[in-house]
Structure 1
Amino acid sequence: MQNFLFIVGLAAIAANLPFFSEKIFFFAKPKKETKAFVFRFTELILLYFIVGLIAYWQEGRLSPVHQQNWPFYATTFALFIVFAWPGFVWRYFWRKPGI
């Protein structure tokens, strides 16, 4: 149960990271004041795969890893997008422009 909560918490934090950082891939400063949504979405996909690798590693430590098909990955990516909703709202709807 602790591993499950760790992975879910990690996914919730990782899904919101692209919306709280103005640096591209957390290292490079963009040419404009703010980075484009394309970079944020690309970071979101990259973080999805990183969290997936960590979850795969954790599962491999506890038991044999189960083979998954595309519906599993579609569902987990949709859940990752749902986890990103608070960061998206904060970045694009809640904050006042220029702040």
Structure 2
Amino acid sequence: MDVSLASWLLILVALVLANLPYVNESLFGFIPLKPAQPGGAPNKHGWVRIGELAVLYFVVGALAWLLESRIGNVFKQTKEFYMITVPLFVVLGFPGFVMRYLRKR
């Protein structure tokens, strides 16, 4: 796999995983949650979505590290790297946030 293909694959995976917490009511897309009321639909709270977004950020980071190690040397990351990639991951999740909370029903 060349560098360009790995980069686009990582961007696509990051886009999908950043929107995953907003498009469904199950945890990580496949773990069902209990309904808040008996017989009701499950309700995933905002803090659960934020926690899920944080875990998925580290999943994307692990995939990026794996792809980078297959291509060549892995570069050491400093705090500036994380200060850029965390907001970028949150911005990639903005379409899902808009569909979940800001769209008129």
State TM-score, norm by structure 2: 0.86
Residue 20, structure 1, aligned to residue 23, structure 2: yes
Bigger Cα Rg: 2
State whether residues 20 and 28 of structure 2, in contact with CA within 8 Å, keep that contact through their aligned partners in structure 1: no
Percent identity of equivalent pairs: 34
What SS class does the counterpart of residue 65 from structure 2 fall into? helix
Distance 2:43 2:58 in 1: 24
What is the RMSD of the two structures over their aligned residues, measured on CA atoms? 1.1
Residue 29, structure 1, aligned to residue 38, structure 2: no
Structure 2: gaps spanning 5 or more residues = 37-41
What SS class does the counterpart of residue 54 from structure 1 fall into? helix
State whether residues 23 and 29 of structure 1, in contact with CA within 8 Å, keep that contact through their aligned partners in structure 2: yes
What SS class does the counterpart of residue 43 from structure 2 fall into? coil
Aligned length: 96
Give, as a single letter, the amino acid of the residue that structure 2 aligns with 1:64: N
**Other-structure match for 1:59:** 68
Distance 1:92 1:43 in 2: 17
